[in-house]
Structure 1
Amino acid sequence: METFLVPPRWLFCRVATDEGLVGWGEPVVEGRAETVRAAVDELSDLLLGADPLRIEDLWQTMTKGAFYRGGPVLSSAVAGLDQALWDIAGKALGVPVYQLLGGAVREEVRVYGWIGGDEPSAVAEAAAAQVEAGLTAVKMNAAGRVGRLPGRAEVAEIVGRLAAVREVLGDERDVAVDFHGRFGVAAARRVIPELAPLHPMFVEEPVLPEYGHRLADVVQASAVPVACGERLFSRTDFLPALQAGIAVAQPDLSHAGGISEVRRIAALAETFDALLAPHCPLGPLALAASLQVAFATPNFLIQEQSIGIHYNTDAELLDYVLDRAPFAFPQGAIQRWDAPGLGVEIDESAVREADRRGHRWRPPVWRHDDGSFAEW
């Protein structure tokens, strides 16, 4: 088992078997890659010498084989290793992972790209660029630094940014709005109804996950679909959010226990008539794992992908794959592929060279005008 710290902010893992099969995964917490790397190393004690095809047993052991469990670091370490095990299983049997999940239910996966939104001057141009690239849906931040209870002028700016993007997209394309947990409950209840006439596909993470007990209050304040889940890491984390009435569950395949757990989260969401839209501003392995789940999940909505995202300054998602063609989205969707395992050919030499450079990516720390901490 090996791990690779690759720019711009990712961690890859490589799991090799004694029969020569190799599985790849992406265990990472953005800004905590080195910490997750240590967790992967600890978990390797449970995997080395084991049968890699016993995926469920290994998942149970990795998640429950210690007295202290859960949390983003451990769940992300497990997620990447789980991806690698599914990759090995598919390669051993000569089939894509989605066949092992019950087979395909769709021929293509609609994808969206991120266009920012912190600064109002650029969102319309960014939306136009994504349309030119072939996307039929985008996501933007509702605001940059914002007070927990924004005033009339701030609310008007938020609505104006979305209106500018809607004008570019027209009625036939979609835009989602990410609140990024920057708003308080009262602020979300005030702002979301103002956005409703512009028909956002969904509003994402309107409140911080630690205020999940107030999520129902936000859901009930507007008809705009509410999404959340990038900072939820298990079925038990998602249950209260689903009970609160979210319309879209957004687990991250590199955070929420990998393919094994996200598949179960999707099934749980289906019992609440909620849709699946996996979070994925990450690299090629996280995206490939997300797509395998999407190909096999009936209640799937749309898939995030990070090609061209603003984080990718030192490297790009496609820099680490040998065949870029499967990731193309000329009509806003990635076509189903039949390659075994995760279906992505990793350029191992490029990954090893990138690991020699490494990275130390950290999220920004924001401050309000009065010097107090601001949610990023």
Structure 2
Amino acid sequence: MSSAQKFNVGIIGYGLSAKVFHIPFISLTPSLILHSIVQRSPVPGNSAPDDFPTIQHFTDASALLSDFSVHIVIVSTPPNTHFAFVRDALLAGKHVLVEKPFVPASAQAFELTALARKQNRVLCVYQNRRWDSDFLTVQKLLRDGDLGRVIEFETHFDRFRPEKPAASWKADLSIDNGGGVLYDLGTHLLDQVFVLFGMPTTVSAKFVNQRDGKLVTGEGEGQEPDSVSLVLSYAERGMLVFARAGVVCVEKEQVRYWVRGSKGSYHKTGLDPQEHHLRSGGKVTDAGFGKEDVPSYGRLCIAGADGRVEERACETVKPETYRRFYELFATAVESGREEDVPVPAIQAAHVLAIIEAARESAKLGRDAAPVLPTM
């Protein structure tokens, strides 16, 4: 990338994501310059102007969008606001990076994808967990054929959090808000599945409120599940994918992946350590950032020619870290090419179609096929 070309970045929203996942990586990307932040109501102890006194600050997004010196807008606000912010930023001629979940509905995602193409601007969704080292390990195992043909793929975001959290978009299943566990954690799970296997033939879903011990069969107030279990069928592969997120899972080490193939299997517990390091005040430049220790490695079982199964530790690949996402995003902005975007909006639109099929399945009690809107 040419070191001479620089892009000013404006951020809408000043919550955890902006502070932990975006601003630190902007500062490490040579072609990106943190230019401005929109924070509606700064207060002592949570004030962007106090934290970054040398850049510009706004309390309204329209002021940022009308600033011609801003080249890139990062939308880091609740998902029910994403569509309007992304649309307005694209119409203002900005490149856009938007937090996941992209927007509440796949039709909106396809509309914004078409608008970005019309405006000749880059539109990228922040699915950073494509750069989790354990996911990169799974990709390598499948790419190298170590497991043979995949029979079943199991992916989890399970936790032991029996107490109900405070109200937020993450606890609201309303399609208007793009909230709830299916959009929050499910988006991560399904994005990784989409990267590996593409679109499923059908989806079967069960929504459960594990804290209250009841199956959720409808939608609306009082029908927000805290846990989901999905089965994605891939008819051409003869393969099933199980994607689960639960909150009453009493385990010393929570399952992350369990991949079963015709030649072997891979079992992994624990989460990629990058988010924990960042939330704890660590930096990507710290020695060993994102690297797992030996006890955290997954277990690999391989069937020999004699039918015996050998089990051994499977070293987690060297982390590329979330810094790689920003390197690729900056490259895409410079080139202006959709094919260079690390997480193109069109891919996020496909993932939203899978989510919508899951909602239909849970509501109607039958399999549902993802439906892609026309652009």
Query: TM-score if structure 2 supplies the norm length?
Result: 0.28
Higher strand share: 2
**Larger Rg over CA atoms:** 2
Query: TM-score if structure 1 supplies the norm length?
Result: 0.28
Q: Which has the higher contact order (CA 8 A, sep 6+)?
A: 1
Higher helix share: 1
